[in-house]
Amino acid sequence: MKNLVFNSEQDSVKISFLEKTGEISTLIPNTNKNFVILDKIVLDLHSSFIDELKAKSCSFFVIDAPEKQKNINTCLEIINMMQKLGFNRSDAVIGIGGGAVTDLAGFVASSYMRGIAYFQIPTSLLAQVDASIGGKTGVNHGNIKNFIGSFYNPKEVFICSEFLNSLDDQEFLNGFSEVLKHCLITSKASLMNLKELADEIQNREPNILLKLIEESINIKAQIVTEDFKEKGKRKFLNFGHTFAHGIESVNSETPILHGHAVLIGMLMALDYSKEQGSLSKDSHKVAKEILKGFKYDFTSIKLDANGIFEAMKSDKKNTLGINLVLLKEIGQPFIFEEPSNENLKNFIIKFINDFEE
Ligand SMILES: NC(=O)c1ccc[n+]([C@@H]2O[C@H](COP(=O)([O-])OP(=O)(O)OC[C@H]3O[C@@H](n4cnc5c(N)ncnc54)[C@H](O)[C@@H]3O)[C@@H](O)[C@H]2O)c1
């Protein structure tokens, strides 16, 4: 087992990397009582691991529909239950599931009696490489995602590759977009390494995956350690995301996988970087080929240039113009404030025409 410890704000966050779920329960510290907030699918697919937790002094709250239940009503239901069971500051919350469950569990932990210990067990690739790092917790409100929330670090995160075996291919790729993104914004060598390891990655070889997840976590951890509240460098993590939010917005009636929208968003950001003269033709070609080498299924994604552009215009992160993260080179991101709406709109129209050919 490998460990990584990084400092975030005043906290020290420990991350343990494991191949087998059986190793986790022995490592969870013996707090007085644990309140486990758990994804139903994980309960069904990894029941022996959950049985081991049951042997510890744990109470359980099972989430059947993670994104739907990621709201303040679920938090209140959990908080009421914890109160009735007499949970106090010497106890802990454990979140087990994808990012929706771990965001919700982290928010409960941060608000219960002004904060009790939180242990995070992310079970989707997206939650392991992205949602588990950086201390963002929260729930949706009305139809606005993550509108209510806090910055609150877990005491420890347990990353276990065995959980990833039960993800279907597209859910796996959903999280893999963040691994690709972390490489694109920090290192050409790491991106080339993903190309070399493409077969092992798609076959989910545990030792390869754990190494890549660790690298990805290290990249995000370094960025959020420097800029916890997203005032500077952390904005680079939005690479591809401004376009992706536009794509998600035009698909809001039949929601699509976030990572798939991000993958298209990153292809757009690469093209736009080349168009602005910042990214060389060679690097652009290499990066696009690598992204396109993974078997993303985009068939259910609707691309409507006008809708994407309008949604991007209303992004809360904009300043005078629309803010985009572009690349000077693979591994060298910068913030570009697009002064001309016309340019951007024409670019989106052209990108979609070429993409759909
Ligand atoms: N806090 C952050 O910094 C941060 C960053 C990115 C995303 N997020 C949040 O994370 C959520 C998206 O994460 P997600 O894609 O993990 O969503 P999710 O939690 O909805 O999980 C996706 C699906 O995978 C299932 N699942 C989870 N683990 C599984 C496993 N091991 N085997 C089989 N199925 C499994 C879930 O039941 C669900 O159906 C969003 O709510 C988003 O806002 C938070």
pLDDT in tens, 196-252: 999 999 999 999 999 999 999 999 999 988 877 778 888 999 999 999 999 999 999
Whether 1 shows a pLDDT value over 80: the answer reads no
CA end-to-end distance (rounded Å), the chain: 47
For residue 99, how far is its CA from the centre of ligand 1 (angstroms)? 4
**Which residue has the CA at smallest separation from atom 16 of ligand 1?**
98
Contact 20, 160 (CB under 8 A): yes
For residue 66, how far is its CA from the centre of ligand 1 (angstroms)? 8
Give the whole-angstrom CA distance, residue 65 versus residue 42: 12
**Which residue has the CA at smallest separation from atom 41 of ligand 1?**
100
For residue 357, how far is its CA from the centre of ligand 1 (angstroms)? 32
Q: Which residues line ligand 1 (CB under 6 A)?
A: 39, 41-42, 45, 66-67, 70, 97-101, 103, 123-124, 126-127, 130-131, 134, 136, 145-146, 163, 166-167, 171, 174
**Which residue has the CA at smallest separation from atom 6 of ligand 1?**
131
| 3-class secondary structure per residue, 128-187 | HHHHCCCCEEEEEECCEEEEEEEECCCCEEEEEHHHHHHCCHHHHHHHHHHHHHHHHHHC
pLDDT score at 299: 95
Structure tokens belonging to residue 98: 């994808």
Model confidence pLDDT, tens digit, residues 259-270: 999 999 999 999
Model confidence pLDDT, tens digit, residues 123-166: 999 999 999 999 999 999 998 889 999 999 999 999 999 999 99
Backbone angles phi, psi at 199, to 5 degrees: -65, -45
Q: Any idea which residues carry the catalytic annotation?
A: 114, 136, 178, 220, 230, 234, 238, 241, 245, 258
For residue 178, how far is its CA from the centre of ligand 1 (angstroms)? 13
Domains annotated on the chain, with CATH: 2-166 (3.40.50.1970), 169-356 (1.20.1090.10)
79's CB contacts (< 8 A; 6+ apart) are: 108, 111, 112
